[in-house]
């Protein structure tokens, strides 16, 4: 059976992206649970008021009343950053 090289290459790219994304999530979770330094608000692209549904109070990293395991500083329950991860 002949192997379509283009299709095989695409499959490898998808697998690489999936593994990379999974490892990034694991690394981020590990950082927050291992007590490693938090990310600054600027580096996290944090905003204090976010109009969308993905607000801090719905994020796995949010620590009530105004904290976060990933981003440093005072965190609004209605904020948002690029590290948003929905609660299960």
Residue 61 touches ligand SF4, criterion: CB under 6 A: yes
Residue 38 touches ligand SF4, criterion: CB under 6 A: no
Cβ atoms of 79 and 45 closer than 8 Å: no
Rounded to a whole number of angstroms, the minimum distance from the CB of residue 18 to ligand SF4 is: 22
Number of residues that bind ligand SF4 (CB under 6 A): 15
Whether omega before 65 lies within 30 degrees of 0, making that bond cis, reads: yes
Binding ligand SF4 (rule: CB under 6 A), the pick from 33, 53, 71, 78 is: 71
Strand partners, 68: 62
Residues 45, 58: Cα–Cα separation, whole Å: 17
DSSP-derived letter for residue 37 is P
Residues 42, 82: Cα–Cα separation, whole Å: 10
Residue 79 touches ligand SF4, criterion: CB under 6 A: yes
The residues binding ligand SF4 (CB under 6 A) are: 44, 46, 56, 59, 61-62, 68, 70-71, 75, 79-81, 83-84
């Amino acid at each position: 059976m002949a192997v379509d090289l283009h299709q095989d290459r695409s499959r490898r790219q998808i697998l690489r992206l999936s593994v990379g994304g999974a490892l990034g999530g694991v690394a981020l979770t590990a950082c927050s649970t291992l007590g490693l330094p938090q990310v600054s608000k600027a580096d996290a692209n944090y905003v204090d008021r976010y109009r969308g549904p993905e607000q801090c109070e719905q994020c796995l990293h949010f620590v009530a009343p105004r904290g976060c395991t990933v981003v440093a500083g005072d965190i609004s329950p209605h904020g948002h950053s690029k590290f948003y991860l929905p609660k299960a």
